[in-house]
């Protein structure tokens, strides 16, 4: 096996057993005498495949009956627009909690549609922390409150669900969905690009509460209306069938792991391993505030950034890839999503300690 431990922030590592199954049935899928990617989305085999993926997702996340689950395209970036186009109006305003570059992009798109109030922003602190509940300036008349649950670039994560009263809560969960349990009933709408914890890029997941569908103006482009996709069970047009199939296999894998509760336990342990090590040394520095640290994206810097290249080359030689931090912040980033085995984190810590000793 010459696969590396892959710390990519996204598109990211998928469970190896899933990839093996994908490979083994690539040319012939079940009784279909064709690849999954070669069969009609209107045929029974694919309809069953998508329905099973939805069933498993509902079981994993405990999605209540009055929420629709959609398999769409366009990534979180298209959701930045679809959310306000469907839920906001020119006369109304929505509250946005700004905790990083992705929230900022969401704000930018919402402003094209209606009013935006910033409920809180940690931009002044380089997004190194998550605002507390008490800091949120919430408008009781807001069309919704939007936030980003996990910030891949800055390595922070909400470890609480904002209490927004009766205002619908909207969350971009692209980088931590399925990393642990989530009380879906507390949300009006949840969306996630799939390319981190779920499937190859090109699939976007949306979970939306039925009553919100009434808000959509009928003037919207058909493809941007949530209700159209709900009515058509995500098959108004051809869905990204291959990505849906792989997401389905990942859901099966998650269930076999014991579900999101069990996965969360593993994720907490993996993250602790790395953060605990970071806290023992000043050779490395983790900029995110401790209580807000992300379990998915562990961001750290070498005390001496002139060693960055050597660190990356050494890590690669030791079988660890894609550790370079986001270009906006530099340094290192270890993305340790569901598919990263504990052994990968152990190997990273061992390498970091060995590298530190060599340069101490």
Cite the active site residues.
Answer: 102, 172, 196
From 30, 38, 285, 303, residue interacting with a second copy (rule: CB under 8 A): 38
Q: Considering the complex, what minimum distance in angstroms separates the CB of residue 243 from a second copy?
A: 6
- Helix or strand run (H / E) with residue 302: strand 297-302
Distances, alpha carbon 83 to alpha carbons 14, 109, 119, 345, in Å: 28, 9, 17, 36
Q: Considering the complex, what minimum distance in angstroms separates the CB of residue 17 from a second copy?
A: 11
Cβ contact 316:275 at 8 Å: no
How many C-beta atoms surround the C-beta of residue 42 within 10 A? 9
Q: Taking CB under 8 A as the rule, which mask of x and - marks residues 186-225 in contact with a second copy?
A: -------x-x----xxxx---------------xxxxxx-
Q: Taking CB under 8 A as the rule, which mask of x and - marks residues 301-330 in contact with a second copy?
A: ------------------x-xx----x---
242 binds a second copy per the rule CB under 8 A: yes
Strand partners, 301: 285
- Token representation of residue 17: 């057993």
> What whole-number distance in Å separates Cα of residue 330 and Cα of residue 73?
30
> What whole-number distance in Å separates Cα of residue 183 and Cα of residue 203?
22
Q: Which stretch binds a second copy (CB under 8 A): 101-109, 156-164, 280-288, 296-304?
A: 101-109
> What whole-number distance in Å separates Cα of residue 118 and Cα of residue 96?
5
- Three-state DSSP class for 358? helix
**Closest to a second copy by CB, 96 or 275:** 96
Give the total of residues touching a second copy (CB under 8 A).
Answer: 68
268 binds a second copy per the rule CB under 8 A: no
- Token representation of residue 242: 């291959």
Q: Which stretch binds a second copy (CB under 8 A): 67-75, 87-95, 181-189, 340-348?
A: 67-75
> What whole-number distance in Å separates Cα of residue 214 and Cα of residue 113?
17
Tokens 């909207």, residue located: 170
Residue 18, φ and ψ in degrees, nearest 5 = -65, -45
255 binds a second copy per the rule CB under 8 A: no
Q: Which stretch binds a second copy (CB under 8 A): 16-24, 138-146, 263-271, 292-300?
A: 16-24
**Closest to a second copy by CB, 74 or 259:** 74
- Residues in Cβ contact with 313 at an 8 Å cutoff, skipping those fewer than 6 apart: none
- Helix or strand run (H / E) with residue 93: strand 93-98
30 binds a second copy per the rule CB under 8 A: no
297 binds a second copy per the rule CB under 8 A: no
- Three-state DSSP class for 171? strand
44 binds a second copy per the rule CB under 8 A: no
Q: Taking CB under 8 A as the rule, which mask of x and - marks residues 107-136 in contact with a second copy?
A: -xx--x------------------------
Task: Please give the residue ranges that form the binding site for a second copy (CB under 8 A).
Answer: 2-4, 6, 8-14, 16, 19-20, 22-23, 26-28, 32-35, 37-43, 73-78, 80-81, 85, 105, 108-109, 112, 193, 195, 200-203, 219-224, 236-243, 246, 319, 321-322, 327
């Amino acid at each position: 096996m010459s696969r590396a431990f892959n710390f990519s922030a996204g598109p990211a590592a998928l469970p190896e057993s899933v990839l093996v199954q994908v490979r083994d049935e690539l040319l012939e899928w079940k009784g279909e005498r064709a690849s999954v990617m070669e069969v009609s989305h209107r045929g029974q085999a694919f309809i069953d495949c998508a329905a099973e993926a939805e069933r498993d997702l509902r079981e994993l996340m405990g999605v209540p009956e009055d929420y629709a689950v959609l398999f769409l395209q366009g990534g979180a970036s298209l959701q930045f627009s679809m959310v306000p186009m469907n839920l906001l109006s020119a006369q109304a305003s929505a509250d946005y909690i700004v905790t990083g570059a992705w929230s900022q992009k969401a704000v930018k798109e919402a402003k094209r549609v209606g009013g935006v109030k910033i409920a809180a922003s940690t931009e002044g602190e380089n997004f190194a922390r998550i605002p507390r509940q008490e800091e949120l300036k919430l408008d009781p008349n807001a069309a919704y409150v939007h936030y980003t649950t996990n910030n891949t670039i800055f390595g922070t994560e909400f470890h609480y669900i904002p209490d927004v009263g009766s205002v619908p809560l909207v969350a971009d969960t692209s980088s931590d969905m399925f990393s642990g349990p989530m009380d879906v009933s507390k949300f009006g709408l949840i969306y996630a690009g799939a390319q981190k914890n779920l499937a190859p890029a090109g699939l976007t997941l949306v979970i939306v509460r039925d009553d919100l569908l009434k808000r959509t103006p009928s003037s919207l482009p058909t493809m941007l209306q949530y209700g159209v996709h709900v009515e058509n069970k995500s098959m108004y047009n051809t869905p990204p069938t291959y990505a849906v199939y792989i997401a389905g296999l990942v859901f099966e894998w998650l269930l076999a792991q014991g579900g999101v509760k069990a996965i969360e336990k593993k994720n907490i342990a993996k993250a602790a391993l790395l953060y605990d090590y970071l806290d023992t040394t000043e050779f490395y520095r983790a900029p995110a505030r401790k209580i807000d640290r992300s379990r998915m994206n562990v961001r750290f810097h070498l005390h001496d950034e002139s060693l960055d290249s050597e660190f990356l080359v050494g890590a690669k030689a030791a079988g660890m890839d894609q550790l370079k931090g986001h270009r906006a912040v530099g340094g290192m980033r270890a993305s340790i999503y569901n598919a990263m085995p504990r052994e990968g984190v152990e190997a990273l810590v061992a390498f970091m300690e060995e590298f530190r000793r060599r340069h101490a």
